[in-house]
Amino acid sequence: MATPPRRVTQRDIARLAGVSQATVSLVLNNRADAEVRIAAETRDRVLRAIAETGYAADPVARRLAARFNRIIGVFTYEPAFPSGSRDFFHPFLLGIEEYAERVGCDLLLFTSAPVVEGRRRIFHQDNRLRLADGCILLGREIDGAELLRLNRDGYPYVAVGRRDDAGGPVPYVGADYATAVSRLVELALLRGHRRLAYLSMGGTAESSEDRRRGFDAAASTAESARQLTATAGDAETVLDDLLADGTTVALVEDFATAVAIESATRRRGLTVPDDLSIITLGDPTVPVPTDIAFTGFHIPREEMGRQAVEVLRGVIDGSAAGVQQRLLPCELVEGDTLGTPDPAADRR
């Protein structure tokens, strides 16, 4: 069995601070022996080394021979930890909980991290990462600098969602958005659509990049395959653009924007899919009331959560062969919003 990723120790702190391990222990316990006086400058050096490495005293310092607490951390970059059953992250948590229970591990939710510029930060003065054997990371966009530090420190983690390299490969379990979008584009082309538009949220997350890549790969034979940035708030303006260009099908990254465009279409006395087909590229990230069954795909969120725990176990105990990176297939949904364009219609 491979050696588990190395944890920061008191000996490491002592080496970085240029002091003895006994001095580190005294500082950590906030005391001094009767015969030993710790200078303020020395104490400050030790505290700086602790802060820079993210070291936290092991709550079960005398571990079992296996060296594991059987505790898995879960960290989300969202400002508030998702808990509602309709929250986008809720299915991920269900999958994580199910598999953790199956393998006899407890979950530790890291909810005390500070929010900086609308996003939580893993590393802070009182971070408790070391209470867990490893951590699962959730969030649409994960801070690259923090991934870099996790890699550098050798801390076991797995990201939910594909992530680019951060000073080395990132272990992840994600959804195969590129393939799902390509299949939907191919389906639209088979239905006779030749003028397509991809409506992006304008983000730089890997999940958005993968969707756009899938669109570009499959739409190369179309007469027109434009990419626009769109939000629910500018649905009327976007619809004007689509109709003026003669677009017959819009592939929409944000579910709420798709609902807004469908509503705008009805207000014009037009219909979906007769006058404009709409395809959604994933599940709602926030609850959006609608009775429309959109053509699109579902993200395998529960299964991603389950497999994230499975991968993390291999990272923790060293049984994983190399860095695990998994992309799971998305489930296509036929829906009612992809029709066949009228070949006689020319709105350009």
Report yes or no on 275 lying in a domain.
yes
Q: Do residues 248 and 219 share a domain? A: yes
For residue 269, the domain's CATH number is: 3.40.50.2300
Report yes or no on 270 lying in a domain.
yes
- Helices then strands, each counted (H, E), the chain: 10, 14
Q: What is the pLDDT of residues 267-308, one digit of tens each?
A: 999 999 999 999 999 999 888 889 999 999 999 999 999 999
> How far from 341 is each of 195, 248, 288, 337, 348, CA to CA, in Å?
10, 6, 27, 12, 14
Length of the chain: 348
Q: Do residues 33 and 62 share a domain? A: no
Domain range holding 43?
A: 1-55
Question: Which of 31-40, 153-162, 237-246 has the lowest average pLDDT?
Answer: 31-40
Q: Do residues 49 and 94 share a domain? A: no
Instruction: Please say if the pLDDT value at position 130 is more than 60.
Output: yes
Q: What is the pLDDT of residues 209-256, one digit of tens each?
A: 999 999 999 999 999 999 999 999 999 999 999 999 999 999 999 999
pTM for this predicted structure: 0.78
Report yes or no on 343 lying in a domain.
no
Instruction: Please say if the pLDDT value at position 62 is more than 50.
Output: no
Question: What SS3 state is found at 267?
Answer: helix
Phi, then psi, of 229 in degrees rounded to 5: -95, 130
Pairing verdict, β 331-333 and 296-298:
antiparallel
Report yes or no on 340 lying in a domain.
no
Half-sphere exposure for 157 (CA within 13 Å, toward CB): 30
Instruction: Please say if the pLDDT value at position 112 is more than 80.
Output: no
Question: Which of 108-117, 140-149, 281-290 has the lowest average pLDDT?
Answer: 108-117
Q: Do residues 63 and 170 share a domain? A: yes
Question: Which of 116-120, 195-199, 230-234, 334-338 has the lowest average pLDDT?
Answer: 116-120
